[in-house]
């Protein structure tokens, strides 16, 4: 049995009566009545769901699933084409930049050789220093 305050907080519509022999409170309608009401609500909800399921046309459902599948297929094709275009653009951009760098090195051959020689000496010095 619940205390009066806790019960009143959970079930404000219920009326509480003072029980003379125990000094506590007793609910005017029993837990059985409350459970019965919850069962009726659940039964009504299930009946509505069954009614809704009976109203569904299976052919219409299959048509909607087929349309959805087609839409997903078309969307995936569009995304694939877009990704291919972006990849092509990135590849072309990188190729152009590599060609420009190669042309720049050919135009400034002496500076490029000096730069490569300096980098080689620096890397050799760092390797030798780390092994000692």
* Phi, psi angles (nearest 5°) of residue 23: 80, 0
Residue 118 CB-half CA count within 13 A: 6
Q: For the chain, give every domain's residue range.
A: 1-55
3-state secondary structure of 25: strand
SS (H, E, C) 5-19: HHHHHHCCCCCEEEC
**Are the beta carbons of 27 and 16 closer than 8 angstroms?**
yes
pLDDT, averaged per 10 consecutive residues of the chain (132 residues), comes to: 48 49 52 76 84 75 88 92 94 95 86 90 93 78
pLDDT at 121: 95
Q: State how far the alpha carbon of 94 is from the alpha carbons of 39, 104, 105, in Å.
A: 70, 15, 17
**Are the beta carbons of 16 and 29 closer than 8 angstroms?**
no
pLDDT at 16: 47
Instruction: Kindly report whether the global pTM for this prediction surpasses the value 0.85.
Output: no
């Amino acid at each position: 049995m619940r205390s009066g305050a806790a019960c009143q907080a959970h079930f404000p519509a219920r009326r509480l009566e003072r029980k003379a022999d125990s000094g506590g409170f007793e609910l005017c309608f029993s837990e059985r009545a409350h459970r019965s009401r919850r069962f009726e609500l659940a039964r009504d909800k299930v009946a509505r769901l069954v009614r809704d399921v009976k109203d569904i046309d299976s052919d219409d459902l299959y048509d909607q699933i087929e349309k959805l599948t087609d839409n997903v297929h078309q969307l995936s094709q569009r995304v694939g084409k877009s990704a291919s275009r972006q990849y092509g653009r990135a590849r072309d951009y990188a190729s152009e930049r590599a060609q420009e760098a190669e042309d720049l090195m050919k135009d400034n051959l002496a500076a490029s050789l000096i730069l490569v020689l300096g980098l080689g000496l620096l890397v050799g010095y760092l390797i030798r220093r780390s092994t000692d």
